[in-house]
Structure 1
Amino acid sequence: MERIEITLYPNQAEEIEKILEEFQVPYIKTSAESYKIQCLHYVIISPNEIAGALVDIIAHKFDTNQRINVITHYKPEATISDYLRKFEAFLKEEVTPASITSTDIDIVSGFKSVKDKIPIKRTGPIEGLVSRTDAFLSRKMDVYSMILVATVIALVGLVSNNVAVIIGAMLISPLMGPIASIALNSVLGRQKQIEKSIVFGSQMILSSIGLAAALTAALALFYPVETTPEILSRTEVSPILIVVAVMLGIAGGLAMLTSIPEIIVGVAIAVALVPPATTIGIGIGLGSIDIAASASLVLLSNIIGMVIGFMIIFLLKGVSPRKYYEKKKAREVLRLNVMVLVALAVALGAIEVLFGYRSN
């Protein structure tokens, strides 16, 4: 179940209550005051399957530029209501007409009208996704520090050929954020935010490479640094890398849109980003162009593939701006970004085929 709270002017009550009656959801209306102006406050509890559509319709009906008009949407810890339980089961098609008792006929008839007439949107509010990804629009020292610490740990694991240590580095890497931010803002048509995400993500990765290069060069002065199997495995280029990265991006997008813990997918994404970035630094620190170049191809393939994967799942799940004029701009931005990504993916695939051919 999901909870929606709305604050609005009293003259809008009739319109909001008409919408709530169409959705057959329970609500509480109370009189309130904001900035010494009389207003109304609604608390609505809705099944997950229709909450997104309900918020969309309400957001289109009311001008949220006005100070009093506010919509809040979130999931409570628990909701106890047999009515809503039956409603949700009906929407999920877990209840069939044959299993409905006579006392529930009127209730289920109301449910059916909702299912037949109201567009069902199963994703959460766009604003929730935006707030999570907007944290990666500019450099923040805590996030920045995490990637540097992850780089040091990954370097130790790669040089010592210790898989467990490398996995430990993944647990603290925040690189899923910029990837998701680029993809989400591409779908929403927020070009400035895309540019900021690219800049911050690039700063994180370049800092990781620079730190790994400096530490490797310093370590090589006192300790013979060898190209271990773990290092070499991050230099194996193949066009299939982009396909795997797209799958990781799809998994990451699903984690953001559903109840799948993001940390699980975040670790998998970090595995595809932090070790290659660290390996580039190791190659630079050792003066090995082949290692640095091959690891760079692996890293770029993973980044481009994951951005494409995130964009695919966002589009399939119907993530888009709320307002019609924003939708038009979003389509233009998305078209341009898709063309650029596809061109880069094809170019990288061709380069990787040539690398593989040269290696053989």
Structure 2
Amino acid sequence: MENTSPNTPVKSLWLSIKLLLKSTLDIREDTNHDTTIEEVKAGISIKGQGAWVLIFSILIASAGLNTSSTAVVIGAMLISPLMGPIVGIGLSLGINDVDLMRKAIKNFGIMVVLALFTSFLFFSIPIFQKETPELIARTYPDVRDVIIAFAGGFALIVALSRKNKQVNTIAGVAIATALMPPLCTAGFGLATRKWEFFGGAMFLFTINTIFIALATFIIVKSLKFPMQEYLNSSKSKRISRILYLVAFLILTPSIYMFYGLYKKTDFEQKVNTIITTFSLDKDVVILNQKVNFQNKTVSFATVGKSVTNQDVEEWSEKLKKQGYSGVKFEITQSVENLETQNMLEKLESTYYTTQQILNKKEELLVKQEKEIIDLQKQLYLSEKSKIPFDQIANEIKINYNEVAEVAYSRLLKTNFTKIDTVPIIYIKWNNNLNQNQILSQEQKIQKWLRLKLQNEKLTIQKLN
């Protein structure tokens, strides 16, 4: 009877996915155990050409670090033979080969001493003793360096174990794990007697070495490389115990290093978040910030508003809730900075006060200018309304014999919106003129005087 269970398509899909993942991720079929072991053994020795290649690559890397040239440092890492003895240590642990381990450790020691000595000589020259960003970057390892070394070690041994070698993978691992720059930086520390450089760089180099060897050991065990056989069974057991002890001694500090670096990175990140948030919110400039995870201290200087005790208590409480209690904050707020801040605040206050006074003065000036303009208009109108009475009277007498008397006055009138001044000329005529003649003569005189005096408001009235 045909199986029509609804689970059949699901099982088929799951089986297809498993087969796809196995064909994609399985590396056992493409592994060449014997060839890999021989190639690793051949790459361990640091004698002859290998020693000179190491010396020259160290010189190149030192020059690159001194000039902060990343390209030069990368070039030096590509030609360096540093990786060989480290992979040899991991392989010897994995296949239980004590002779290979001795050889690998011996060559590893020679390699380290030769690299330190070469970089020491280079940085002993005074013109090469400047601290550069590339050198400083090799003195503060964090948890990311562990991940890089571990992943690099896995990638390296997997690439070496393939039947068809991938040269670009091996070169990429040499660049990523960066074994040479820490050794060169340690040589710089020795030459300049800056022990913080030497200690930090050697710690980074130790991390890279241990985790590359550990990754090699894990892959060798996973791929079931053939174990080294010894005729004497008791000797074989003794060697196995020794190698497992060495593996344990490598694994234990590796876990401790990883945890310590993880906590250090986490602590620094949380402190940076708190300080950055404070700087942005309060508009404060933070200078010379230093975070010491070991002593649980945070030190920095401020420019701008001062940090209060309440701020520090809030930071300590936040860090305590995040698992970091007893953190001490050492904040530099010099008297000069406080005086400068007070002076700035006073200047700001004075500026705003002065600005208000100037604004009031400006308003007063505008008002006064308006009053002046109004007065000028009034003066103009007043001047315009003035009439040279003597001259006008004489001219009227000469041109109009019938005029007996002339008078002049100014009439003020208003429509309750504005006030106007109207000039009025009063004329008394001889009795021999009739009313029509008088009206005609008055119109002529009015036109003449309006044109002469440029005043259309002027009027002529009869004087009784």
% of aligned pairs identical? 22
Number of the residue aligned with 1:247? 151
Number of the residue aligned with 1:27? none
Q: Indicate conservation of the 8 Å contact 2:82/2:179, yes or no.
A: yes
Q: Indicate conservation of the 8 Å contact 1:185/1:193, yes or no.
A: yes
Q: Indicate conservation of the 8 Å contact 1:252/1:262, yes or no.
A: no
Residue 301 of structure 1 pairs with residue 207 of structure 2: yes
Residue 287 of structure 1 pairs with residue 193 of structure 2: yes
Structure index of larger Rg? 2
Cα 1:337/1:177, change in 2 over 3 Å: same
Amino acid at match of 1:225: Q
Residue 211 of structure 1 pairs with residue 148 of structure 2: no
Number of the residue aligned with 1:238? 142
Shift of residue 214, structure 1, vs aligned partner: 1.2
Number of the residue aligned with 2:105? 198
d(CA) in 1 for partners of 2:159, 2:239 = 23
Amino acid at match of 1:203: I
Number of the residue aligned with 2:57? 150
1:343 corresponds to which of 240, 245, 252: 252
Q: Indicate conservation of the 8 Å contact 1:154/1:166, yes or no.
A: yes
d(CA) in 2 for partners of 1:262, 1:318 = 24
Q: Give CA deviations for 1:75-118 in whole Å, capped at 9, x if unaligned.
A: xxxxxxxxxxxxxxxxxx79xxxxxxxxxxxxxxxxxxxxxxxx
Q: Indicate conservation of the 8 Å contact 1:255/1:261, yes or no.
A: yes
- Summarize the alignment of residues 33-182 of structure 1 with structure 2, pairs less than 5 Å apart: 122-182=29-89
Cα 1:267/1:144, change in 2 over 3 Å: farther
Q: Give CA deviations for 1:247-269 in whole Å, capped at 9, x if unaligned.
A: 11101111111235245324433
Number of the residue aligned with 1:114? none
d(CA) in 1 for partners of 2:217, 2:167 = 17
Q: Give CA deviations for 1:23-68 in whole Å, capped at 9, x if unaligned.
A: xxxxxxxxxxxxxxxxxxxxxxxxxxxxxxxxxxxxxxxxxxxxxx
> Does 159-168 or 262-271 show the bigger shift?
262-271
Q: Give CA deviations for 1:154-173 in whole Å, capped at 9, x if unaligned.
A: 01110000111111101211
The number of residue pairs the alignment matches comes to: 241
d(CA) in 1 for partners of 2:184, 2:101 = 25
d(CA) in 2 for partners of 1:246, 1:130 = 20
Task: Give the SS at the match of 1:161.
Answer: coil
d(CA) in 2 for partners of 1:139, 1:261 = 23
Q: Indicate conservation of the 8 Å contact 2:77/2:178, yes or no.
A: no
Shift of residue 329, structure 1, vs aligned partner: 6.9
1:184 corresponds to which of 62, 70, 91: 91
Shift of residue 303, structure 1, vs aligned partner: 0.2
Task: Give the SS at the match of 1:171.
Answer: helix
Cα 1:210/1:192, change in 2 over 3 Å: same
- Summarize the alignment of residues 304-319 of structure 1 with structure 2, pairs less than 5 Å apart: 304-319=210-225
Structure 2 unmatched ranges of 5 or more: 1-18, 21-26, 265-291, 299-464
Cα 1:310/1:230, change in 2 over 3 Å: same
Q: Give CA deviations for 1:229-288 in whole Å, capped at 9, x if unaligned.
A: 111111112244223211111011111112352453244335520011111001111111
Question: Larger relative CO (CA 8 A, sep 6+): 1 or 2?
Answer: 1
> Does 127-136 or 179-188 show the bigger shift?
127-136
d(CA) in 2 for partners of 1:170, 1:333 = 33
Amino acid at match of 2:294: Y
Q: Indicate conservation of the 8 Å contact 1:216/1:281, yes or no.
A: yes
Shift of residue 136, structure 1, vs aligned partner: 4.2
2:166 corresponds to which of 237, 253, 261: 261
d(CA) in 1 for partners of 2:244, 2:209 = 19
Shift of residue 330, structure 1, vs aligned partner: 7.2
Q: Indicate conservation of the 8 Å contact 2:32/2:161, yes or no.
A: no
Q: Indicate conservation of the 8 Å contact 1:123/1:317, yes or no.
A: no
Q: Indicate conservation of the 8 Å contact 2:95/2:220, yes or no.
A: no
Cα 1:263/1:176, change in 2 over 3 Å: farther
Number of the residue aligned with 1:321? 227
d(CA) in 1 for partners of 2:101, 2:199 = 26
Number of the residue aligned with 2:349? none
Shift of residue 344, structure 1, vs aligned partner: 2.7
> Does 257-266 or 187-196 show the bigger shift?
257-266
Q: TM-score w.r.t. structure 2 length?
A: 0.47
Structure 1 unmatched ranges of 5 or more: 1-92, 95-119
> Does 168-177 or 327-336 show the bigger shift?
327-336
d(CA) in 2 for partners of 1:121, 1:217 = 49
